[in-house]
Amino acid sequence: MAKIGLKYGVFAPIATEPTGQLPTYGTGLVVGHMMQANLTVQYSDSKLAADDTIVETDRSFISGTLSVGTDDLTDEVLEAWLGLQEKTVGSATALRSAGTYDPPKGGFGYIRVVKKNGVRKYKAYWIYKSMWVMPNENASTKPDGTIEWQTPTVEGTIMAVGDGDATWRDEASFATETEAVAWLNELANIGEPADLTALGAAIDAAKLLDPEEYTSASWVAVAVALADAEAVTLMDSPSQTRVDAAKNALTGAMADLVEATGA
């Protein structure tokens, strides 16, 4: 599978880190147009020797480093992603860097464009916990009228979360860029809130039904769809695509109900 592109870098600050669960996130943002994303991962290399051979080995995730190049860092991104703080300095509003300002921990995602057997797909990555630092800065004059593009590269440290599995990343493949973007937007709480009205109405309708009036086989589909629909309503920021899919699955399952004999 050939990697032929990179796009749509997003960051969302961690809001809560419940014990034994994945983090929840505050409102995220797009960090800029992606130019590079270079990942280095460190694993443990612990071996247990016995009877003159290796009988056990451990290759657990320790940490990772992600180097991200973007076209620019806006003031909004500098504050949300790198922890700079807005201050009034004289007659101007400035962004301040200070030794006591810790950058926020947060989730980070991006999309890689891949191609295999002539088919283009979009592979989205979501890193659950990371912390980023201000990039080194280089400036130079324009020599002989020739433009030398100067773009920032930001480095982040990747950490495992305390969900019991030491999760650090998820990745998902999509047929379209729109689907990949929607998945990342959902995880990073980007975009307009989804309209849950129709989904709520479908849930209410399902709860009014009496399972005893339908065959067990047909009711199982409704029960599964109802549980999924209720889970979607509890998500921090479900995408409209996810909400609509849950509603359609529930209404479809209800439409397929078969009345029990003698009901």
For 10-38, b where at least 16 C-beta lie within 10 A, e where not — what string?
A: bbbbbeeeeeeebbbbbebbbbbebbebe
Q: How confident is the model at residue 146 (pLDDT cuts 50, 70, 90)?
A: low
SS3 181: helix
Per-position DSSP letters for 22-76, written without gaps between them:
--EE---EEEE-EEEEEEEEEE--EEEEETTEEEEEE--EEEEEEEEEES---HH
More confident residue, 125 or 232: 125
Beta carbons of 190 and 76 less than 8 angstroms apart:
no
Range name among 88-97, 113-122, 218-227 with the lowest pLDDT average: 113-122
Name the E strands within the chain. Answer: 2-16, 24-25, 29-32, 34-43, 46-50, 53-58, 61-70, 85-89, 92-96, 105-116, 119-133, 153-158, 169-174
Q: What is the pLDDT of residue 49?
A: 79
| pLDDT value at 55 more than 80 | no
3-state secondary structure of 127: strand
Average pLDDT over residues 128-152: 75
Question: What does the pLDDT average to over 87-101?
Answer: 93
- Any idea what the Cα angle at residue 203 is, between residues 200 and 207, rounded to 5°? 140
Q: Residue 20's pLDDT is what?
A: 93
**Average pLDDT estimate for 98-115:** 93
Q: Tell me the average pLDDT of the chain.
A: 89
Asked whether residue 161 carries a pLDDT value surpassing 90, the answer given is yes
pLDDT digits (tens, 9 = 90+) for 193-247: 788 999 999 999 999 999 999 999 999 999 999 999 998 888 766 778 788 999 9
User: What share of the chain has pLDDT > 90, as a percent?
Assistant: 65
Between these two residues, 145 and 214, which has the higher pLDDT value? Answer: 214
pLDDT value of residue 254: 95
Residue 171: CA count within 13 A, CB half-sphere: 8
pLDDT surpassing 70 at residue 21:
yes
Give the pLDDT score at 148. 62
**pLDDT confidence band for 263 (50 / 70 / 90):** low
- What pLDDT is recorded for position 52? 76
- Within a 10 A sphere around the Cβ of 88, how many other Cβ atoms? 8
Residues facing 34 on adjacent strands: 70
* pLDDT range class, residue 118, cuts 50, 70, 90: confident
Residue 104 phi/psi, 5-degree rounding, is -70, 145
Q: Where are the alpha helices (DSSP H) in 68-141?
A: 75-82
The amino acid at 93: T
Confidence at 1, pLDDT banded by 50, 70, 90? low
